[in-house]
Amino acid sequence: MNDPTGQEQLLKLGARTVPVLAQGEQYIFCQNLEDVAEFVGLQGSGHTPLPPATLITKWINVLRAAQRYILQLPNERLVERAIDSRDRSIRLLSHHIFRIGEAFLETAIDDVEYWVDNANIPPEDGTFTIGEEIAGYGDTIIERLESWWTQLEDKSCQQKVKTFYGTPPMHQLFERSTWHSAQHTRQLIAVLERFGIEPHGRLTAEDLAGLPLPEGLWE
C-alpha cells in the first residue's frame, strides 16, 4: 500500500491478494504463522493457538465492544476515512468487523471456499449508514456465531475447510477471523480517540491475550 511498485510486484508473482511473503519467485500467502516460519527457515512460529472454546468467548467480547464503539461515533462522520492513507470509510470499517464473522460462517456452515474478498464484501449503497444499523447487523452475526457454536458437534474444530490457500483445520480460520475482528476493533478505539471521545468499555490486554495481533495498529 505504501510502495508505488507493490501491486506490480504482486502481479508479477502471480498473487492476487495480500499478505504475501516472497523470496525470489517463490511466495506463500501469510495466512498461517507456521507456514511463514517454515518458509523463512524457522523451527515453528512459537505461537500456541487458543482453544476454540476460548476463541468464541473472545470473539463475542470483541464484537460486543465494536458495537459499543460504533454507537459512540457521530453518524455524520461515518463517511470519513478511518485513516488518511487508505480509502476506507469508518462506515465500511465498522461493517467489515461483523462481515468477517459472516464470511467465516459461510465457510464453516455452507462450505463456501474462503477468500479474503469474502470478508470484504461491502454493504449495498444506502444501507448501514448510521451506527444503530451497523450495530444491529452485529447482533445478527453474534447470534449466528453463538448458535453455530452451540450446535457444533466437534468443538475441536479440526474439520477441514476450503480456502484459497489450501484446506486447513477450521481452528486456524476461526483464530484468524477472531483476531481480524479484534484488530479492526482496536482501530475503532483509535478513531474515537481522534474524535476526542472516550471509548465505552475499552478492550483490555487480557481481552486480547493469546491472539496473534499485528504489532502496528493499522497493519
Do residues 188 and 94 both lie within one domain? yes
Return the CATH number at 87: 1.20.120.450
List Cβ neighbours of 139 (8 Å cut-off, separation of 6 or more).
Answer: 67
Position 131 in a domain: yes
> In terms of C-beta density within 10 A (0-12 exposed, 13-18 middle, 19 or more buried), how is residue 212 classed?
middle
Asked if residue 33 and residue 58 are part of one domain, the reply reads no
| Residues 119, 95 share a domain | yes
Q: What is the pLDDT of residue 44?
A: 67
Indicate if 21 and 127 belong to the same structural domain: no
Q: How many beta carbons lie within 10 A of that of residue 191, not counting itself?
A: 22
Verify that 29 and 59 share a domain, yes or no: no
Torsion of the alpha carbons at 2, 202, 102 and 143, rounded to the nearest 10? 180
Number of domains observed in the structure of the chain: 2
**Residue 19, preceding peptide bond in cis (omega within 30° of 0):** yes
**Residues 192, 73 contacting (CB under 8 angstroms):** yes
24 and 85 fall within a common domain: no
Q: Which domain holds residue 14?
A: 6-39
**34 and 92 housed in the same domain:** no
Q: What is the mean pLDDT of residues 13-36?
A: 67
Q: Please report the pLDDT score of residue 131 as a whole number.
A: 98
Q: What percent of the chain has pLDDT over 70?
A: 86
CA angle 178, 183, 186 (to 5 degrees): 125
Q: Does residue 44 fall inside a structural domain?
A: no
- Asked whether residue 156 is assigned to any structural domain, the reply reads yes
- Does 130 lie in the same domain as 98? yes
Give pLDDT, residue 118: 93
Instruction: Give tens-digit pLDDT for 62-81.
Output: 999 999 999 999 999 999 99
Residue 113 shares a structural domain with residue 142: yes
pLDDT band at 16 (very low <50, low <70, confident <90, very high): low
Sign of the CA dihedral with 122 first, then 3, 184, and 38 last: positive
Specify the pTM. 0.84
Whether residues 85 and 166 share a domain: the answer is: yes
Question: 1 in a domain, yes or no?
Answer: no
Give domain status of residue 46, yes or no.
no
